Amino acid sequence: MEKIYIIGIGLIGGSFAKDLRKCYPKAQIFGIDTTPSHITEAIRIGLIDEEATISTIEDADMVVLSIPVDTAVKVLPEVLDQITDQTLVIDMGSTKASICACVTTHEKRRNFLACHPIAGTEFSGPMAAIEGLYRGKTNIICEVEKTSFKLQEKALQLFTSIGMRIRYMDPVSHDKHIAYVSHLSHISAFMLGKTVIDKEKNERDIFDMAGSGFASTVRLAKSNPVTWTSIFKQNKKNILETLDEYISNLTHFKKLMQEDNFTGVHKEMENTNHIKEILKGIE
């Protein structure tokens, strides 16, 4: 590849840029971002070579969308309008149904590969970019059959070279499952953080008592609200279903406590303990 364009130079796009430097050392990497300081920082630390705009991507070998998902559904058709038949376009979004739907009938749908690399941290911006962020992580690919075989091969070769595991899934199933294992986790962290902050207004010493358990549980509450608001908006239906189930479990746990049923409390935790085996090997 000679020319790569990354739209959105934050944690996800910036970390991918670091891996692309190793895979394609001779390639030029261009950055597109609505935040000028992101471009400045990305050039200064070597994530990208130059700033670009969507109107200049007609010579791209690859275009990467790493922007909020509600923005991506607007930008992707514009990108496909500009590219050649040889250009590979991928997105890195946490929801897949809407972005796949927005280009169903586009004449260059075959150039697009819908991806979700399940990786990240609670930090954002170019300075948050991490080399090797995607190594050992799972990349969910949706509607692979709608992408030209030649471009599929190019993408899979890249993902393999940076150490990613590949999993295929339809976009509707992806959005349903990710609501449980990712989106609900972020909502829980944000609301736990809110609960403690609200309490801290009256009890100034509360954070002096916060240990590693609290810090690890609430870590996701430091995530970018712009990114996560767009995700919650795109996956609203599935998230509401997961919240109903989560609230039901919390209500049941509260009832056990109210009834002094600590045998039941113990059983609930004991039954959940096997998650240690399910998550074995996940960092």
HSE, CB side, 13 Å, CA atoms: give it for residue 202: 3
Dihedral over alpha carbons 1, 83, 105, 167 (to 10 degrees): 20
State the pLDDT at residue 208. Answer: 66
State the pLDDT at residue 193. Answer: 87
**Average pLDDT for residues 22-49, to the nearest whole number?**
96
State the pLDDT at residue 218. Answer: 83
Backbone angles phi, psi at 25, to 5 degrees: -60, -20
Whole-angstrom distance, CA of residue 57 vs CA of residue 76:
12
**Average pLDDT for residues 25-33, to the nearest whole number?**
96
Report the mean per-residue pLDDT for the chain.
92
State the pLDDT at residue 210. Answer: 65
State the pLDDT at residue 214. Answer: 75
66-121: pLDDT as tens digits: 999 999 999 999 999 999 999 999 999 999 999 999 999 999 999 999 999 999 88
The two three-digit tokens of residue 100, written as one number: 């796949």
160-212: pLDDT as tens digits: 999 999 999 999 999 999 999 999 999 999 998 888 887 776 666 666 666 67
User: Is the pLDDT reported for residue 236 higher than 80?
Assistant: yes
Backbone angles phi, psi at 167, to 5 degrees: -135, 140
232: amino acid identity, one letter: F
HSE, CB side, 13 Å, CA atoms: give it for residue 190: 13
Strand order in the sheet with 3-7: 50-51, 28-32, 3-7, 62-65, 88-91, 112-117, 138-142, 165-168
The two three-digit tokens of residue 58, written as one number: 């007609």
The answer to whether 202 and 227 are in contact (CB under 8 A) is no
128: amino acid identity, one letter: A
Print burial letters for 41-62: b (CB count within 10 Å at least 16), e (below 16).
Answer: bbbeeebbbebbeeeebeebbb
State the pLDDT at residue 40. Answer: 97
CATH class of 3-170: alpha beta
Whole-angstrom distance, CA of residue 71 vs CA of residue 50:
22
pLDDT top residue among 34 and 215: 34
Backbone angles phi, psi at 281, to 5 degrees: 90, -10
CATH, range 173-278: 1.10.3660.10
What does the domain layout of the chain look like in residue ranges? 3-170, 173-278
The answer to whether 113 and 93 are in contact (CB under 8 A) is no
247-265: pLDDT as tens digits: 999 999 999 999 999 999 9
State the pLDDT at residue 78. Answer: 97
80: nearest Cα among 110, 101, 50: 110
State the pLDDT at residue 203. Answer: 62
Whole-angstrom distance, CA of residue 130 vs CA of residue 232:
25
Write out the E strands in 124-255: 138-142, 165-168
State the pLDDT at residue 205. Answer: 66
User: Is the pLDDT reported for residue 26 higher than 90?
Assistant: yes
Q: Angle CA(18)–CA(221)–CA(76) in degrees, nearest 5?
A: 50
Q: Do 173-278 and 3-170 fall under one CATH topology?
A: no
In the structure, what pLDDT confidence band is assigned to residue 276 with cuts at 50, 70 and 90? Answer: confident
**pLDDT above 90 covers what percent of the chain?**
82
The answer to whether 114 and 171 are in contact (CB under 8 A) is yes
Length of the chain: 283
User: Is the pLDDT reported for residue 283 higher than 60?
Assistant: no
Whole-angstrom distance, CA of residue 20 vs CA of residue 28:
10
